[in-house]
Amino acid sequence: MKGSSVALLLSFSLTFSLGPRVAGARTEVEFAFGGGTYVKPREAARAGLVVVPDAVSPGARAPLVVFLHGLNQDGPLHKWMGAKGNPDVSAMLSRLQAEGRAAPFLVAAPSQTVDASKPWGMWASFDLSDFVQKTEAALGSLASVDRSHVVVLAHSGGGCNVHGSALLAASAKAPAPYAVVLADTCFDRGVAETLLLAAPSTRVHTFYQTASWERDFEPFRTLFMGTRDRGPRERSMTHVPLTGYGSHDRILAVVVDRAIPVLLPKVTEPSGARPVAGSAAAP
């Protein structure tokens, strides 16, 4: 949303939104989010972004994928969502729908440019319910959110802060997220303990690579995959065998391609028909 966009105040909402912009086979709406917390005041009015792919019928109620990016100190708004410097994950997600590989769904993401230089400082106290509410207000009549099917997708530092990020979102109760997908985040014992607070109905799937960012995965694996008396019923930890430069970023496209079509299938399948990842799914 640039240039000719006009700010407007949506009825019954204090959330300011910039008018929708048609970009290729999708409509984009920027809206205010995180001013004074995640972004500089001058950035606040544009810090939220929701994408409505053409696959979503006008006014339809659709699932929502919420994307949380990683480190981005003083970086651009909408990292991984069309900003320069990274591939566009919203385009990847839209393409799944255009190809008929997933049901129609919405994509939304906040931005963080302040205190965004360390993983444990990312997305402090992130309130999933509040973000979804502001997303829906920004959509207006374009579409509405099916709150029973909210998927949180986090990359890198988007899933490291146990007092915020996708980890706090995983244990949200109003409502509980349908699924949480972590792509190469901080897989340590604290992350495992936080994910075990998720509702039994929330699907939690984790993916990692070992070509870069050396970590000890065993404390996470032992606790998260070994604990059976609490936490999500459906869970997995999957190694993605990437090699070469940029593996930490390249894993995100792999995770989108593997996880989202299974979690939001084009045709409803019987529960348990296909695992998100075959390497380590918990019963």
pLDDT class for 26, splitting at 50, 70, 90?
A: confident
Checking if the pLDDT of 279 tops 60, the result is: no
| The two structure tokens encoding residue 114 | 């302040």
104, 56 Cβ separation under 8 angstroms: yes
pLDDT of res. 271: 54
Residue-range definition of the domain harbouring residue 116: 7-263
Say how many domains are in the chain: 1
pLDDT digits (tens, 9 = 90+) for 211-256: 999 999 999 999 999 999 999 999 999 999 999 999 999 999 999 9
CATH number, domain with residue 30: 3.40.50.1820
> Does residue 278 form part of some domain?
no
Distance CA 265, CA 230 (A): 27
> Does residue 62 form part of some domain?
yes
Crossing angle for the helix pair 247-263 and 89-98, to the nearest 10 degrees: 30
Burial 152-181 (b: 16+ CB within 10 A, else e): bbbbbbbbbbbebbbbbbbbbeebbbbbbb
> Does residue 268 form part of some domain?
no
pLDDT class for 37, splitting at 50, 70, 90?
A: very high
53 has which bridge partners?
Answer: 26
Distance CA 3, CA 27 (A): 16
